[in-house]
Structure 1
Amino acid sequence: MKLQLDDPGREDVLKLLAEHLADMFAASPAESVHALDPAALQDPDITFWTARKDGQLLGCGALKQLGPHQGEIKSMRTAEAARGHGVAARILQMIVAEARSRGYTALLLETGTQDFFAPAQRLYQRHGFRPCPPFGGYTADPNSIFLRLDLDTVPPDRPRETREE
């Protein structure tokens, strides 16, 4: 698996992000969907990565800078055919390692509370994320859970961005 900086405007990435947005709107009321569209992922405060194997897109994830010491995970998505193979965990590990290398003290995220989001919640909790109050521009919402990882509690295990298995 190769993890790399990528362009959210690539054709296969656009398809994966369209599926992501469709699922978010199917699982949550529109006012509770905080997923970014491909244009928003082009913002200079956002770094976007993909995971690929033999050129095939397996998943993606992004890191949004919230300030000098905090980042937010955005647009984590694994292609349906790649689910259950550790893709999301590898992307998450890379994002955490990047946040640490930037000197962030915390990494935050928002995800849904519906059953659809249970696998994502388990992934984040397995990696040390814990519930926290809303952050940034978010407000309390019964359809959202907010999670935080204090980066000084996570061991550095950064997969290299060009690593292949």
Structure 2
Amino acid sequence: MAGTQGSGILIGRDTPGRTDVQEFLSGHLADMYATSPADSVHALDHGALSDPAITFWTARQGSELVGCCALKQLQPGQGEIKSMRTAAHARGRGIATLLLAHLLEQARQSGYERLFLETGSQDFFAPARRLYHRHGFVDCPPFADYALDPNSVFMTRDLR
């Protein structure tokens, strides 16, 4: 796994099917279902994240998995951020910022012009919304196949 390194964290392409990644993503899905109504959970499991239209990265400190993120191609030049997650014990250390910066750079290098994301509207997701706003994302209407949902916040960022 080669990739960006910062603060002892190595970010690189990875496989969602790895055992530790599957466990990590299971925790992510459990949190999503614990904080949002089931029909408002849009997180993907490891099988869905293995789709060829999705690029998946993990952040590791040594061999320990401390975060992940994914980029799903919606159409040429447009993508959606999926599965941004930092391990609960590693939050507040800048890992999400490193992951997002890596994803944004990789998206630019791959020719993406615009990114979108969906996150929750509940207090649990407030840190995520602050992170995205700090990095130039703005609220937008639903995109792709999403519908207006009081439990969702939709955001976008122009990469040009």
TM-score, length of structure 2 as denominator length: 0.93
Which of 22, 45, 63 is 1:37 aligned to? 45
Q: Which structure carries more strand by proportion?
A: 2
Rounded Cα–Cα distance in structure 2 between residues aligned with 1:112 and 1:87:
20
Rounded Cα–Cα distance in structure 2 between residues aligned with 1:81 and 1:33:
23
Rounded Cα–Cα distance in structure 2 between residues aligned with 1:104 and 1:9:
26
Paired residue type of 2:151: N
Aligned to 1:95: 103
Task: Pick 1 or 2: higher relative contact order, CA cutoff 8 A, min separation 6.
Answer: 1
Aligned to 1:109: 117
CA RMSD of aligned residues (A): 0.6
Shift of residue 53, structure 1, vs aligned partner: 1.1
Aligned to 1:83: 91
Aligned to 1:157: none
Shift of residue 12, structure 1, vs aligned partner: 1.2
Q: How does 1:23-34 map to 2 (within 5 A)?
A: 23-34=31-42
The answer for unaligned runs of 5 or more in structure 2 is 1-8
Paired residue type of 2:68: C
- What secondary structure sits across from 1:48 in the alignment? strand
The answer for unaligned runs of 5 or more in structure 1 is 153-165
Aligned to 2:132: 124
Q: How does 1:39-54 map to 2 (within 5 A)?
A: 39-54=47-62
The alignment-based identity, stated in percent, is 61
Rounded Cα–Cα distance in structure 1 between residues aligned with 2:79 and 2:110:
10
